[in-house]
Amino acid sequence: AQSVTQPDIHITVSEGASLELRCNYSYGATPYLFWYVQSPGQGLQLLLKYFSGDTLVQGIKGFEAEFKRSQSSFNLRKPSVHWSDAAEYFCAVGLEYGNKLVFGAGTILRVKS
Amino acid sequence: DARVTQTPRHKVTEMGQEVTMRCQPILGHNTVFWYRQTMMQGLELLAYFRNRAPLDDSGMPKDRFSAEMPDATLATLKIQPSEPRDSAVYFCASGKGLVGQETQYFGPGTRLLVL
């Protein structure tokens, strides 16, 4: 069965600093990959997704992610973090028709001023 | 701006009581998901529907939980009887397209506390 690992439970970065959140998946074929963000007290919102094609994907709020097949990774990046980016971030993997999304455990991002 | 709506937003009840949570998916979406989020377990998929038919409810405790879609605009999740361990935030999400490939749109959640 497919699985998703987010190795970092918490990350703290300074405002203006760059950010990288890690995500590794386990699946034999190319999966469908997603990053969602959850602000406190809110539901999850899609940041970006990868299905095929260009391995560097641009999303909303200045985020991007890169799919690396050789490393089974789909890391999320942002060049300069804003205080409003403080939230919990979830990586998710989906398979082809008939299956569901599997979410990682999430990474809580704290931004210090 | 189409959104998934959930009611109630907050619910406090006593152990043994019935709890019903409601979800209105985005118009035109044909897939509905119920998730439960806790600190210990994270985000768990309880059940999901496609075109109102249940496709997978393996994540749901069968003895006390039930999920239905009486019509395309309403999904319900019921707990009877409720227990303190059911305290969590319950999210509904909807989407269209192929499960596993589609974007899911989440509601704001129902925060449930069972005393």
Which pLDDT tens digits describe chain A residue by residue (113 residues)? 778 999 999 999 999 999 999 999 987 677 889 999 999 889 999 999 998 888 999 999 999 999 999 999 999 999 999 999 999 999 998 866 556 788 999 999 999 99
Closest by Cβ to A49, choosing from B43, B103, B106: B103
CA of B33, closest CA in chain A: separation in Å? 10
What pLDDT does B71 receive?
93
Q: Inter-chain contact A100–B104, Cβ cutoff 8 Å?
A: no
Q: Residues of B with CB below 8 A from A90's CB?
A: 43
CA distance B7 to B24: 9
Nearest CA among A83, A65, A87, A82 for reference residue A74: A65
Cis amide prior to A31 (ω within 30 degrees):
no
Q: Inter-chain contact B100–A98, Cβ cutoff 8 Å?
A: yes
Q: Inter-chain contact B91–A49, Cβ cutoff 8 Å?
A: no
Helix (H, G, I), strand (E, B) or coil at A60: helix
Closest by Cβ to A44, choosing from B48, B98, B106: B106
What digits encode the pLDDT tens for the residues B14-30?
999 999 999 999 999 99
CA distance B66 to B44: 15
Question: For chain B, which ranges sit under pLDDT 50?
Answer: none
What pLDDT does B17 receive?
98
Instruction: Name the phi and psi angles at A9, rounded to 5.
Output: -80, -45
CB neighbours of residue B100 within 10 Å: 19
What pLDDT does A99 receive?
62
CA distance B109 to B36: 9
